[in-house]
Amino acid sequence: MSDQATTQDTAQTTGQDAERAQDRPTNRSTTPTSSAFTEHIQAGWAEREQPLPAVRAAAAPAAAHRAAISALHPGVRLVVPAGGLKVRSNDTDYPFRPHPDFTYLTGWGSDAEPDSVLVLEPVDGGEGHEAVLYFRGPAGRGTTEFYANAAIGEFWVGPRPSLAHVAADLGLAARDLAELDDVFADGGDALVVTGADASVEAALTAANPDGDLLARDLSELRLVKDAWEVAEVQAAVDATARGFDDVIADLAEATAHERGERVVEGAFHRRARLDGNAVGYDTIAASGHHACYLHWTRNDGQVREGDLILLDAGVEVDSLYTADITRTLPISGTFTEVQRKVYEAVREAADAAFAIVRPGIVFKEVHAAAMEVIARRTAEWGLLPISADESLQPDQQLHRRWMVHGTSHHLGLDVHDCAAARRDFYHDGIVREGMVFTIEPGLYFQADDLTVPEELRGIGVRIEDDIVVTADGARNLSGAIPRTADEVEAWMREVRAR
C-alpha cells in the first residue's frame, strides 16, 4: 500500500464530503509540493477519448422504481444518498458499496461513486418528480486533487466518469456534487433515506424527521421483484453454483491443510470475484461440529474425512443482487447412515415449505410448514419429552432447540432484504407473485448436547434454496444445485472426476 498524500486543494468536492475526503493522516505524505513539481505533473497529458455508453439494462427498471416511490410521496423532495467511504484501519477504507436503496433507484451498482446523491425533486404544478443524480465528476489535471488526494484522486483510486458518461449510462440527469448545496438553499422539506453515512445526511439537510418513512416505503416496494431483478438473482445463483463446484474440487486440498475451512472459503471467494463483484456476505465454511454454529465465519478449522461441511455462501453480481445458498456436503463424498438420516429430514422440511408457497399465503406459514416436519422427526427419534403436536403449540416449541433460526428471509440487494418493511408486510404479510426469498431449514446437534444420542452430536445440516413466487406457485432458482442425499453424492463424484 503506497504512502498517503494530502493537499488543501480538493477541487470539485463540497462541504463535509471534502472534509472527509481529506481527513487522512499527513505524517507519511511524500508528495512534492513545490511549484516546479506541480507545473511538471500537470503538463504533458494526452486527451482522453470518452465515447458515451449505451444505456445499461438496469436503467429501465430503476426508472420504474423511481416512479413507484414518487407516487407514494407527491410534492415532497426525496433524497437518497449512496453513502461514503468508511475507514477500515487508519488510512485505509473498506471497499465501497452504495446504499441498496440508492442502487434500486439509479441502477448504479458496483461501479457507483462514493458520496453520490439521488434527488427526486417535485415537479412544479404537476405530478411526479424530476430525478437528478449528483456525484463528484472528474477534477481534471489542472488541479492537485488528481495526484495529491489519496482518498479520491485519480492517481490513487483511478479516474472518475464524466457527467455525460454517467447520464448516458444510467439514463439520468447528472450534475456535479458541488451543485448539491444549491438544492437545499430554499430550506424546503425533504425526506432522506437514513442508514447512509451520517455526515452525508447532515450535509444534505439539518432536519430529517421522516427519513425512516422513506426507507420503510422503499423496503416495502423492494419486497416484489420485477423480471430484471429476478434475472439478476438468477445470475448470482448460477455463479454461486459454480463456486460450489470449485469448493468440491478443492476439498482434497482442504483436508490436507490445518485450516481447511479457509481453503474452502478461498475457493468460493475466488469464484465470487471472477464471476461477480464479491461475496454477498461473509462465507460460512463450517466443518464438523462448527456446522452447529449458525453464523460460523471464523473458518479456521480443519476439514476432516468422515465429517460434514456446511457451506453457506452467495455471489453478489455487479448489479449488487446476491444469492444465498447452503449445501451440506459429506467430505468423504458419502453420507454415513446417521448423517443421511439428518440430512434427509432437513430436506423433507425444505420440500414441505416449498410445497405451500403460492400467492395469497402468509409469509410465516412457510416457516410453520418446515417446523412441522422438524417437530415430527425429532419426536420420532425420541428427542422430545412431549409429542410433536404438543411441541408445535406456541407455548412449547421444544423442537426449536435444534433449529432456533427462521426458515425464510427476503433476498435481493441485501442478503436479508427489505429489513425496514413493517411486520404486516414482511413476517405477517401476504406472499405475492415476484417475491424472492430463501427456504433454509436445518438441524444442529451441538457436540456437547446431552439431550441427544452421542451419534448425533456434532452433526449440523442446513439446506438453503432461493425461490421466486410465480402466479400459481414458486420456482426454485437454485434447483439445479443437487439437493437430495443421493444427488449430492453423485455431484461430488462427478466434480472430482473432472
pLDDT at 150: 87
CB 196 within 8 A of CB 82: yes
- Mean pLDDT (the chain, rounded): 91
Q: Tell me, rounded to whole angstroms, the distance of Cα 444 from its chain centroid.
A: 25
Cell reading at 311 = 457451506
Decide: pTM greater than 0.85: yes
Q: Which residues of the chain have pLDDT under 70?
A: 1-29, 188, 194-211
Residue 137, pLDDT score: 93
pLDDT digits (tens, 9 = 90+) for 397-450: 999 999 999 999 999 999 999 999 999 999 999 999 999 999 999 999 999 999
Task: Give me the pLDDT at residue 192, please.
Answer: 83
pLDDT at 280: 98
Q: Please give the pLDDT value at position 384.
A: 98
Question: Could you give the CA distance from residue 226 to residue 432 in angstroms, rounded to a whole number?
Answer: 12
Res 205: pLDDT: 45
pLDDT tens digits, residue range 303-329? Answer: 999 999 999 999 999 999 999 999 999
pLDDT at position 251:
97
